[in-house]
């Protein structure tokens, strides 16, 4: 990205002033080197988002931003319904409510010493993963609608997990305002056999070791002990979310003209929040969020069953569950006033600061846990929302490293079997269905997640609490 057009506020904060059709500035968070590595398309896309009706304050690109479709991935944009604001299917993304959940084991690494292979095998056997994998749950029409309304709460009521899990999931495990009737038959039919499946690509279930603590007090409050094992899941709303994205992207593109939207790119397609289409998409997208929350809850149940066999006395508890592809109606401070805004986070994690009323009481003094997934073979991070997070980017932080190399190039650069052996020599066990899939997800195909997280901290988006190193990775 050419930085000469940007005004530098600080080492990690840059601005593109409104020009042309832009209604607000585009703000870029990240170090000079991260921004220089970004594709020029990120600036173009952020400027396009800044030109949409009803956008408030700025279009934000975070340190992990990369070229998406319409909206950049790693971006935040908030819209005011009272100012003609819009909602965009492309601004949420195809994998609605894709996110990360971290479970605490309260076990030291030594507890699995000598049994790592056995545990990896058991997790790989019990977690349906990869292309075409089906779960053990098959939903009929009324079961599907109940799941889409209830999310993780539906899953707990169906026997997958415990009521106290819900306290540690965004929206207490159930997104209100979901409308199953706004979800197409095609979307539901893609989902009926996919509950409790991990998916493919960069999705995973990983056993990780707490390798470094940056904020001892917050880490302790989060239940993170140095050297302890945790388990993190990265997955989303599966076929249902993908189909909702496809259906509404098509409909919004076709309707753009009727709303008088002049779009520089079709994928910016949006609908006014006040329109029937806008409201219908919100109902469907919220159902997609519930699907992802239910999916991660079922996967949690499968993981607990595996751990029970190894450690019958040990109960896995949730640290937290975050979603990073959403649009949520939230109360924010704009020029001294409290305003309800629709905040799109596409490849961005909500990061509520200490004292925020939406936090579970256990996190009130510390801020929300922000769970950042690395890629297979690299580390992951736990961050915490800060008081400044709100004014930086509507209480949002990064979501992961972001790719720096295409899948084709990665598949030509690495060989899956050799990569698995190499990671094994470093003490990281990989279980995957596809050798090519492993090569495409090689750690070297991603940006340096540590640099991204350091930039997020330096920009004031969130603060680092702990670093997690991978030990066992079940690849999607």
Q: Is 403 in the site for another protein (CB under 8 A)?
A: yes
Is residue 270 within 8 A of residue 52, CB to CB? The reply is yes
The residue among 199 and 369 lying less far from another protein, judged by its C-beta, is 199
Q: Which stretch binds another protein (CB under 8 A): 5-13, 270-278, 328-336, 397-405?
A: 397-405
Closest CA to 234 of 410, 374, 80, 337: 374
CB of 267 to another protein, least distance (A): 5
The residue among 174 and 253 lying less far from another protein, judged by its C-beta, is 253
Residue from the set 33, 131, 217, 308 that interacts with another protein by CB under 8 A: 131
Q: Is 440 in the site for another protein (CB under 8 A)?
A: yes
Q: What is the DSSP string of 169-212?
A: SGGGG--TT--GGGS-HHHHHHHTT-TT---STT-EEEEEEEEE
Q: Which stretch binds another protein (CB under 8 A): 132-140, 142-150, 286-294, 461-469?
A: 132-140
Q: Which residue matches tokens 């302890």?
A: 228
Is residue 259 within 8 A of residue 271, CB to CB? The reply is yes
Q: Is 242 in the site for another protein (CB under 8 A)?
A: yes
CB of 440 to another protein, least distance (A): 6
Q: Which stretch binds another protein (CB under 8 A): 53-61, 127-135, 421-429, 453-461?
A: 127-135
Q: Is 126 helix (H, G, I), strand (E, B) or coil?
A: helix
The residue among 367 and 402 lying less far from another protein, judged by its C-beta, is 402
Q: Which stretch binds another protein (CB under 8 A): 99-107, 165-173, 193-201, 284-292?
A: 193-201
Mask 33-72, x = binds another protein (CB under 8 A)?
A: ------x-x------------------------xxxxx--
Is residue 377 within 8 A of residue 428, CB to CB? The reply is yes
DSSP label of 130: S
The residue among 33 and 189 lying less far from another protein, judged by its C-beta, is 189
Q: Say what angle helices 141-150 and 276-310 make with each other, to 10 degrees.
A: 90
Q: Is 250 in the site for another protein (CB under 8 A)?
A: yes
Closest CA to 72 of 50, 103, 96, 100: 50
Is residue 225 within 8 A of residue 247, CB to CB? The reply is no
Residue from the set 126, 171, 267, 454 that interacts with another protein by CB under 8 A: 267
DSSP label of 467: E
The residue among 71 and 222 lying less far from another protein, judged by its C-beta, is 71
* CA–CA gap between residue 453 and residue 399 (Å, rounded): 9
Q: Which stretch binds another protein (CB under 8 A): 87-95, 167-175, 278-286, 356-364?
A: 87-95
* CA–CA gap between residue 385 and residue 362 (Å, rounded): 14
Q: Which residue matches tokens 């493919």?
A: 200
332 catalytic, yes or no?
no
* CA–CA gap between residue 269 and residue 253 (Å, rounded): 5
Q: Is 375 in the site for another protein (CB under 8 A)?
A: no
Q: Is 190 in the site for another protein (CB under 8 A)?
A: yes
Q: Is 136 in the site for another protein (CB under 8 A)?
A: no
Q: Pick the catalytic residue: 66, 301, 344, 399?
A: 399
Q: Which residue matches tokens 């319904």?
A: 81
Mask 311-340, x = binds another protein (CB under 8 A)?
A: ------------------------------
Count of beta carbons in the 10 Å neighbourhood of residue 106: 15
**Per 3-state DSSP, what percentage of the chain is helix, strand, and coil (rounded to 5)?**
40, 25, 35
CB of 75 to another protein, least distance (A): 13
Q: Is 243 in the site for another protein (CB under 8 A)?
A: yes
Kindly state the tokens that stand for 344: 């799109």
Q: Are strands 317-323 and 99-108 parallel, antiparallel or unpaired?
A: antiparallel
Segment 194 to 233, residues that bind another protein, using CB under 8 A = 199-201
Q: Is 265 in the site for another protein (CB under 8 A)?
A: yes
The residue among 32 and 189 lying less far from another protein, judged by its C-beta, is 189
Q: Is 246 in the site for another protein (CB under 8 A)?
A: yes
CB of 363 to another protein, least distance (A): 31
Q: Is 434 in the site for another protein (CB under 8 A)?
A: yes
Q: Is 234 in the site for another protein (CB under 8 A)?
A: no
| Enclosing H/E stretch for 271 | strand 271-272
Longest dimension (CA), the chain: 64
Segment 145 to 164, residues that bind another protein, using CB under 8 A = none
* CA–CA gap between residue 22 and residue 107 (Å, rounded): 52
DSSP label of 352: P
Q: Which residue matches tokens 């409909």?
A: 251
* CA–CA gap between residue 470 and residue 431 (Å, rounded): 13
CB of 73 to another protein, least distance (A): 6
CB of 76 to another protein, least distance (A): 17
Residues that bind another protein (CB under 8 A): 39, 41, 66-70, 73, 93-95, 130-134, 186, 189-190, 199-201, 239, 242-243, 245-246, 249-250, 253-254, 265-267, 269, 402-404, 406-409, 411, 433-437, 440
């Amino acid at each position: 990205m050419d930085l000469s057009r940007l005004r530098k506020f600080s080492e990690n904060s840059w601005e593109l002033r409104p020009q042309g059709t832009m209604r607000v500035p585009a703000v870029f968070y990240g170090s000079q080197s991260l921004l220089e590595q970004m594709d020029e398309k990120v600036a173009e896309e952020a400027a396009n988002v800044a030109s949409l009706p009803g956008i408030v304050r700025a279009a934000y690109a975070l340190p992990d931003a990369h070229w998406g479709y319409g909206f950049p991935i790693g971006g935040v944009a908030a819209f005011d319904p009272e100012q003609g604001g819009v909602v965009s299917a492309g601004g949420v993304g195809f994998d609605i409510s894709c996110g990360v959940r971290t479970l605490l084991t309260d076990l030291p690494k030594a507890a699995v010493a000598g049994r790592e292979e056995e545990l990896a095998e058991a997790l790989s056997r019990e977690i349906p993963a990869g292309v075409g994998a089906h779960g053990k749950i098959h939903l009929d029409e009324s079961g599907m609608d109940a799941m889409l309304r209830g999310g993780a709460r539906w899953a707990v009521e169906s026997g997958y997990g415990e009521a106290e899990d819900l306290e540690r999931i965004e929206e207490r495990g159930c997104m209100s305002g979901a409308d199953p009737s706004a979800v197409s038959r095609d979307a539901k039919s893609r989902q009926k056999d996919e509950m409790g499946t991990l998916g493919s690509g960069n999705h995973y279930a990983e056993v990780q070791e707490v390798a470094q603590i940056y904020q001892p007090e917050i880490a302790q409050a989060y239940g993170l002990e140095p050297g302890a094992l945790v388990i993190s899941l990265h997955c989303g709303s599966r076929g249902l979310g993908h189909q909702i994205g496809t259906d509404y992207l098509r409909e919004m593109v076709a309707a753009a003209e009727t709303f008088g939207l002049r779009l520089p790119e079709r994928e910016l397609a949006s609908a006014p929040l006040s329109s029937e289409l806008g409201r219908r998409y919100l109902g469907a997208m919220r159902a997609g969020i519930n699907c992802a929350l239910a999916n991660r809850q079922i996967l949690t149940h499968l993981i607990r069953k595996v751990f029970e066999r190894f450690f019958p006395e040990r109960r896995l508890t949730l640290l937290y569950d975050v979603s990073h592809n959403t649009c949520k109606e939230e109360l924010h401070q704009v020029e001294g006033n409290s305003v309800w805004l629709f905040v799109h986070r596409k490849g961005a994690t909500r990061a509520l600061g200490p004292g925020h009323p939406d936090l579970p009481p256990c996190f009130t003094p510390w801020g929300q846990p922000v769970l950042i997934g690395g890629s297979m073979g690299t580390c992951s991070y736990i961050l915490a929302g800060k008081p400044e997070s709100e004014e930086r980017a509507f209480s949002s932080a990064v979501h992961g490293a972001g790719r720096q190399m295409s899948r084709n190039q990665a598949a030509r650069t690495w060989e899956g079997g050799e990569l698995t052996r190499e990671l094994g020599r470093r003490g990281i066990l990989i279980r995957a269905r596809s050798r090519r899939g492993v090569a495409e997800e090689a750690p070297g195909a991603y940006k340096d997640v540590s640099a991204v997280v350091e930039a997020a901290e330096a920009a004031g988006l969130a603060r680092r609490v702990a670093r997690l190193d991978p030990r066992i990775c079940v690849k999607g």
